Amino acid sequence: MILLVGSALGCGGEPGRCGRIAVGDQPDDRSVQIGTLRRGPEPIDERFTPWTDGTAQPLLFGFQGGWMLQPTVRVSAQADDPPELCATVTLDHESTAPVEEGPRLSRALTRVGDWHYLGPIDDLLGFDEEALVGRELTIEATVTTERFSSGDTVTVTLAPFD
């Protein structure tokens, strides 16, 4: 009964949320990918498309008038990983465009097959679409758990809302 209640509550006592995460001390041996997770009936690994340098990513309108991307972050799983991996996921931005600071989220990443997933993440970039479109944005995603800290960096071109 206690095990069942614990798993129902998720990490840190609230579903999908984690408490403060200590920095892991293991080497960066996990693969982290930033990408798009499409909706659909296919298995999640077939709906995830990693972003690659130079690809165009369309801006989305949201956040009370702000422009954002909605990346999904995934990290490779290991055999002894739990179904939910409590982690802090940080998205750092670098751009010639005026962009907002990226989000820092402590959440439970859900394991599906060989990967743990978090997303889509509402990543607010700014409020002036014209200042963003056509500019390059480098996003560094860092996933930190009590066991490890790994990351991925990708540079995309911001495309107009379609």
Place of tokens 């614990």: 6
* Domain with 114 in it: 2-159
pLDDT band (50, 70, 90) for residue 18? low
What's the structural domain count of the chain?
1
Condensed to tens digits (0 to 9), the pLDDT of residues 79-116 reads 989 999 999 999 999 999 999 999 999 999 999 999 99
Average the pLDDT over 9-13 and give the result. 46
- The string over 69-94, giving b where at least 16 C-beta atoms fall within 10 Å of a residue's C-beta and e elsewhere, is bbbbbbbebeeebeebbbbbbbbebe
Condensed to tens digits (0 to 9), the pLDDT of residues 127-142 reads 999 999 999 999 999 9
DSSP 8-state assignment for residue 96: S
Residue 23 is predicted with a pLDDT of: 59
Condensed to tens digits (0 to 9), the pLDDT of residues 65-77 reads 899 999 999 999 9
CATH number, domain at 127? Answer: 2.60.40.10
DSSP 8-state assignment for residue 27: -
- CA neighbours within 13 Å on the CB side: how many for 36? 14
